[in-house]
Structure 1
Amino acid sequence: MVTVNEAKQRIIVNTTTLPPVQMPLAEAVGSFLAEDVIAPIALPPFRQSSMDGYAVVHSDITESGTMLRLAGESKAGQNDLPVVGPGTAVRIFTGAPVPQGATAVVMQENTSVVTGSVQIHEFPVAEGKNVRRAGQQIAQGAVALRAGTLISPGAVGFLKGMNVNEVMVHSKPRVGLLVTGDELLKAGEALVPGKIYESNSEMLKTALVQAGIGEVSISYASDELDTTIVALEALLDHHDVILASGGISVGDYDFVGKALEALGAETIFYKVKQKPGKPLLFAKKGEKLIFALPGNPASSLVCYYEYVLPALRKIMGSKEPFLRSVRLPLRHAYRFEGERDEFLKARVEGGEVVSLDGQESFVIGSFAIANAIIYLPVGQNRVEAGELVEVHLLPL
C-alpha cells in the first residue's frame, strides 16, 4: 500500500507524453501545444480606435469647447484614410484604423457636431487616449502561446486573429474502458432483486470527453477470470490507456488484478492509503497504462480526478497535469478516524469550502453538485470551522 503522494509520483514518473502531430486549429481544441506558437503578425496590426468618436491631435484641444474642422471619416476595413492635420478631426468608429497625424480619439459622447465641424467638450485630452497601439496585444515575432498550453476556445480566437490555422499538438490517447460485475444491468433492462443499473461507464466516458478524449470504447466482462483476461487483452491491443471499473477488491469474484498478472502487466502499486478509493491499482504493459478503479461510483470518480486525469493530461503534453489546488477555510468542523487520508466531495461557495452530505463511497449524488474535492491528510483529521484546508477544483 502506498500513500497518496507516492501514488501520484509513481503515476507521473511512469507516464510518457505522446508524440506531436500537426493539426488544423479547429480540430485541436482540448489538445496541448507541443511547441511554442510565434506570432506571425502584430495584434492589432495597425493603430485602432477603441471608441466611436473623433480622431484628433491631442495638443489641439486647448480648452473645453474647442472647435475642429471635420476632414473625413475612418471606418472599420477602410485603408484610404484622410490625414489629421492641425485644427482638423476625422470621424472614426470602433476598430477602425487611426489616421496619420492623429494622436488621440475623443469619444462621441464628449462631442457635438456643428455643420462641417465638431466641438470637443473634453479637456485635457491625453496623448494616446482611446487608441490601441499597433502590437499592443502582441508584437510580431513574440511567443503567442507556449508549449503545454491548452487549446481552448479563447486560444482559437487569439490564434485565428493572427491567421494561425494549424498548430503542433501532442496526440490524444485512445482510452478503453472495461466494466465488470454480474450485478450490473444495462440501460432499459428491467430491475430485478439483487441487480443495479450500471452507471460508471457513462460517468467515466463523460469525464474523459470533458478532458478532451474523444476516442473512448466500452467493453463489459462477467465476473470470470477467463472472460476478464480476454476483454482486457482486446483493449490493450488497441488503446493507450485502460480503465477497469470494478473487480479489483479482494472478493472471490474480483478478477481484474489476476487477469492483468496473467497478461504480463507490471503492477506499479496496488492500494492507496485513502478513503474512498483504497483498492486502486496502477499497472503498465510496455508504455500502456492501466488503472483498475474501485466499482463504487464515488470512489471511482475520486480516483479518476486525482490519478487518471493527471496521467491523461501528461500524456497530452500538459505542464500542470494535476487539478488546480487552493487553500480555503472550511465552513463546518470535520472529524475522522483511522490511518487513511480522506477525499471529501465539496462545494466552493463565497470564498469558503463546504463538505457535502453523503461522503460514503457508494453515494454519487453529492458528486452531482460538487465543484471541488477536499483533501485531508491523516495529520489534519480534526479540522475546526474556518481552518484552511487543501481544495482541488474540479474541471468545469
Structure 2
Amino acid sequence: MTLPQPIPLEEAQQRLLAGVEPLPGETLPVSDALGRYLAEPLVALRQQPASNLSAMDGYAMRADDLAGPWTVVGESAAGHPFGAPLEHGQAIRISTGALMPENGGAILLQEEAERQGNGLALAPNGEATPRHIRRAGFDFRQGAELFRAGIRIGPAQLALAISGGHANIPVSRLPRVAVLDSGDELSADPRDCAIHQIPASNGAMIAAMAAPFACAIDRIGPVADNMAALSAALAEADHADVLVTSGGASVGDHDLVRPALEAWGADIHFWRVAMKPGKPLLVARRGRQFVLGLPGNPVSSFVTAYLFLLPLLRKLAGAADPVPAPFRLWLAGDLPPTGSRLEFVRGFTDGETIGAVSEQDSSALAALSRANALIRREVNSPPAHAGEMVTAYLLQNGGIA
C-alpha cells in the first residue's frame, strides 16, 4: 500500500475545521449555561450602574459646595437611597455602592472628614472630590454588546450576563461523542491484566478530555482487532456527532480501523500528519458525523486529542476561537535538535519558565501525568538552550485559558 504523504499540522487543523458549523442553538437559564458557548451576540438590556454610585465610604455633597462646613442631613446606604436633593451646606453619610443623591457631585472620604454631631468639616489635607463617584453606565450602557457570539461562559461572563439584564441566554448545543478503544492487547479490567495485555486507559483519558465540551459520552470497547468486532462496535456509534477511535489507525497488519471505517460508510478526508507524536491521525466524515482516528500510544492519543478533537468539539459547541492559543515562555533547560516532523515535547511550567519532563516516549503515561504544557519545536530546529524563548501550549482544563 502506498502511504499518503503526512500533511503539516496547521493544514490538517484547517481541513478538519473548515466544514464544521456549530450545532443548533438552545436557550438556557444563565445559571445553567456555565461552560457553554454563546450562539449569538449578547446585548445589554440595562446599563450598569443604573445611576451614579459612591465608590467609597464617606460623605456626599454638591459639586458646587466643596469647601464646607456642612450639616449631615441623612444617609444613603446600599439599597437604601437618600430620597431628596441636597441644599447648599448639606451633606449625607454614604456607603460604598450606595446611590448618590440627585444633585450630589462629590465624595469626602470618611478618613478625610471631621465630624461632631451633625456638623461636618474637612480634615487637614482632606478633599471633597468627584473622583470617588462611579458614573452611571461606566461599566456598560444599555444596548452595548456584552459578548460576541462564540464566547465561552465562565463565572465572570455569567455574572455580566445577569448584570446586563438576562435571565436566559442563547447557546449552541453540545455534541454527543462516542469513544471507541480497539486492540487485542487491551484489558477492560485493570485488575485482571495478563502480561501480554495493558489496561484500556485511552478511552477513559479521551472521554475525560472531551467531557467539558460534550453533552454525553458513550464508551465502546475495548474491541478486538478483527473486522467483525469493529463493524459491530461502529454500529453502536450511529447516534454520535463525533466518533473517536483510539488505536488501529496505523499501517500494521492488525491496524484495521481505516478499512472498518470505510466499510461503515465513512469517507476518509486525510490520514497521517507531519507531527511527533501522533503521525497516524485519521480524519473522516460519515454524513453529518465526524470521525477522528487517534493513535494507540497514550501520549500520541493525548496530543492528537488536544490538537484535533478538542478544537473540533469546541467549534461544534459554538466556539469562535476553537484552536488552543500558544504562549511564549523562557526555557529552563536545553532541548535537542528536531527532525523532519513538528514535535510536541511534554513539559512542565511554573508560569515563567518551562522545561521538558524526563521521559518523552509516546507510551510514557507517568511522564505525561507530570506535564502541564506542550513545548512546540519546529521542523529541523537546532538545539535550544536554557534562557531562550519557546512556544508552548497549556494543558490545564483541556487547554482553555
Q: Alpha-carbon deviations, 1:180-222, whole Å to 9, x = none?
A: 1232233463333222222222211221123x32311111022
CA contact (8 A) 2:75 2:82 kept: no
Q: Alpha-carbon deviations, 1:77-128, whole Å to 9, x = none?
A: 1245233222221111121111122112222222233111233326563642
Segment of structure 1 superposing worse, 352-361 or 40-49: 352-361
Aligned partners of 2:43, 2:112: CA distance in 1, in Å?
40
Report how many residues are paired: 391
Corresponding residue of 1:108: 110
SS in 2 for 1:382: coil
Aligned partners of 1:107, 1:127: CA distance in 2, in Å?
9
Normalising by structure 2, report the TM-score: 0.92
Letter of the 1:315 partner, please give it: L
SS in 2 for 1:189: coil
User: Structure 1 residues 126 and 202, CA, compared in 2 at 3 Å: closer, same or farther?
Assistant: farther
User: How far off its partner does 1:139 sit?
Assistant: 0.4
Corresponding residue of 1:297: 298
Corresponding residue of 2:255: 254
CA contact (8 A) 2:74 2:82 kept: no
Q: Alpha-carbon deviations, 1:210-264, whole Å to 9, x = none?
A: 3x323111110222211111211220x1110011111212233222111101112
SS in 1 for 2:196: coil
Aligned partners of 1:35, 1:194: CA distance in 2, in Å?
52
Corresponding residue of 1:315: 316
Matched, 1:332 2:337: no
Corresponding residue of 1:169: 171
Which residues of 2 match residues 221-370 of structure 1 at below 5 A?
A: 221-235=223-237, 237-370=238-371
User: How far off its partner does 1:350 sit?
Assistant: 4.8
Aligned partners of 1:108, 1:79: CA distance in 2, in Å?
18
Q: Note the residue ranges of structure 2 that are not aligned, 5 or more in a row.
A: 1-5
Q: Alpha-carbon deviations, 1:261-294, whole Å to 9, x = none?
A: 1112111111111111111111111221111111
Aligned partners of 2:243, 2:320: CA distance in 1, in Å?
22
Corresponding residue of 2:13: 8
Corresponding residue of 1:390: 391
SS in 2 for 1:282: strand
Q: Note the residue ranges of structure 1 that are not aligned, 5 or more in a row.
A: none
User: Structure 1 residues 56 and 369, CA, compared in 2 at 3 Å: closer, same or farther?
Assistant: farther
Choose from 40, 61, 72 the match for 2:66.
61
SS in 2 for 1:243: strand
User: How far off its partner does 1:381 sit?
Assistant: 4.1
Letter of the 2:367 partner, please give it: S
RMSD (Å), alpha carbons: 1.9
Which residues of 2 match residues 206-217 of structure 1 at below 5 A?
A: 206-210=208-212, 212-217=213-218
CA contact (8 A) 1:73 1:82 kept: no
Aligned partners of 1:144, 1:357: CA distance in 2, in Å?
45
Matched, 1:36 2:41: yes
Aligned partners of 1:148, 1:120: CA distance in 2, in Å?
52
Normalising by structure 1, report the TM-score: 0.93
Choose from 189, 192, 197 the match for 1:190.
192
CA contact (8 A) 1:39 1:144 kept: yes
Aligned partners of 1:13, 1:214: CA distance in 2, in Å?
23
Letter of the 1:55 partner, please give it: A
Segment of structure 1 superposing worse, 127-136 or 374-383: 374-383
